[in-house]
Chains A and B, each alone.
Chain A
Amino acid sequence: DAGVTQSPTHLIKTRGQQVTLRCSPISGHKSVSWYQQVLGQGPQFIFQYYEKEERGRGNFPDRFSARQFPNYSSELNVNALLLGDSALYLCASSARLAGGQNEQYFGPGTRLTVT
């Protein structure tokens, strides 16, 4: 079975531009979460979606938005890019929302560079 996939792998944008990152969860997984990992830090939670509804939002500005589609894939959008948005963006999927081990499986990430 395929794992979590993300596209594109790498991306270079300039300040002020907009970017869309894509994620496909593991087959059968209905929950998708997005994390931002800046260099030298652990991942920071951005959003969680379950059954196409937003179920959690981290401490990020409104420039960050996301959505989940009927096939459970997800997009993360970032508007008006800043240099500080340069990071590895990780998508994680899980079978359900919470309880027990229910680990999140991570994709390879999209490395965004803002110049």
Chain B
Amino acid sequence: AQKITQTQPGMFVQEKEAVTLDCTYDTSDPSYGLFWYKQPSSGEMIFLIYQGSYDQQNATEGRYSLNFQKARKSANLVISASQLGDSAMYFCAMREHLEGSNYKLTFGKGTLLTVNP
């Protein structure tokens, strides 16, 4: 079974600074996808960024970038120029294949990010 580990229950960052949220994963599947989602206090999961296991370059989406180190099985999220609105729970997730072409997302326990003014 696949596993996602987020070792930082909480992180603090000053506004306008960069922050890295850690994620390690474990899988025997050679083909997999890694996602990061943001969950504000409202509860809705917001997709941020995706990295495929065969992608040669690290994914970037605006202020979000993914530091993908395949050999170390890590997929850390980097948020540059933090904003107050970035304060939220952040979840790392892996696409796990079910029977046939079906799949599910396996989530880590999350990291609560607080951006201080």
Contact = CB atoms under 8 A, between A and B. Distances in A.
B68 interface: no
B interface SS class: strand
B44 A106 contact: yes
Contacts, number: 74
Given A56-B99, A108-B42, A108-B44, A103 B50 contact: yes
Contacts of B42: 108
B45 A90 contact: yes
B52 A43 contact: no
B109 A41 contact: yes
Interface size class, chain B: 20 to 34
Nearest to A104: B105
Given A98-B97, A103-B35, A109-B43, A42 B107 contact: yes
Interface size class, chain A: 20 to 34
A58 B35 contact: no
A25 interface: no
A93 to B, nearest CB: 12
Given A100-B52, A111-B43, A55 B105 contact: no
Interface of A: 33, 35, 40-45, 48, 50, 55-56, 58, 88, 90, 92, 97-109, 111
A52 B108 CA distance: 29
A104 B44 CA distance: 12
Contact of B106 (A33, A40, A45, A92): A45
Nearest to A88: B43
